[in-house]
């Protein structure tokens, strides 16, 4: 089943935003990492799983996924985006789930992080949903030949994924 279109209303557009309270991306904003945050309000309720699936199956991301498959050996499908959205896997194309909560997640690939969040629902849950998305670029480690890659050990715990990240890479 194809995801229902998650498109902004006629009066809403994507805008730069402040990270909302409790955003997982805030941990990167508090460091020397570059971070950004954008939001859009849609005129219907949107679940987090629906947002993830719609986000990673849009034409721009399909192009990025195609390039990652052809040039970097990280193929992916819309069906894999769907099972990522459902929380059934911790890897998708070049990304791995670094952290996941019921309404947000961070996916990591090398030094970059992608973050998605469905904002708190208003008092009238059938009216609008605010969707947040952003990224972080983790600085390279100083004094070494670090390529910026990290390793993570991710474990599901109830509806939450938590990962311990070792910025120095795997232990020898």
Q: Is residue 7 part of a domain?
A: no
Length of the chain in residues, anyone?
172
**What is the maximum alpha-carbon separation in the chain?**
54
Q: Is residue 53 part of a domain?
A: yes
Q: Is residue 4 part of a domain?
A: no
Q: Is residue 171 part of a domain?
A: no
Task: Enter the pTM of the model.
Answer: 0.75
Q: Is residue 153 part of a domain?
A: yes
Look up the domain containing 135 and give its range: 15-139+149-166
- Residue 57 and residue 50 in contact, taking contact as beta carbons nearer than 8 Å: no
Q: Is residue 51 part of a domain?
A: yes
Model confidence pLDDT, tens digit, residues 128-158: 899 999 999 998 876 544 444 443 444 434 4
**Mean pLDDT, residues 110-116 taken together:** 95
Domain count for the chain, please give it.
1
Q: Is residue 5 part of a domain?
A: no
Model confidence pLDDT, tens digit, residues 42-58: 988 899 999 999 999 99
Q: Is residue 144 part of a domain?
A: no
């Amino acid at each position: 089943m194809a995801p229902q279109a998650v498109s902004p209303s006629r009066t809403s557009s994507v805008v730069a935003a402040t990270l909302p309270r409790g955003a997982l991306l805030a941990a990167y904003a508090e460091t020397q990492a570059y971070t950004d945050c954008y939001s859009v309000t849609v005129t219907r309720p949107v679940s987090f799983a629906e947002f993830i699936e719609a986000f990673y199956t849009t034409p721009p991301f399909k192009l990025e996924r195609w390039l990652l498959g052809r040039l970097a050996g990280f193929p992916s499908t819309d069906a894999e985006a769907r099972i990522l959205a459902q929380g059934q896997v911790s890897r998708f194309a070049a990304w791995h789930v670094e952290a996941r909560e019921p309404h947000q997640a961070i996916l990591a690939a090398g030094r970059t992080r992608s973050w998605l969040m469905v904002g708190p629902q208003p008092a009238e849950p059938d009216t609008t949903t605010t969707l947040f998305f952003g990224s972080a670029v983790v600085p390279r480690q100083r004094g070494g030949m670090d390529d910026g890659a990290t390793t993570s050990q991710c474990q599901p715990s109830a509806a939450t994924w938590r990962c311990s990240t070792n910025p120095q890479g795997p232990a020898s």
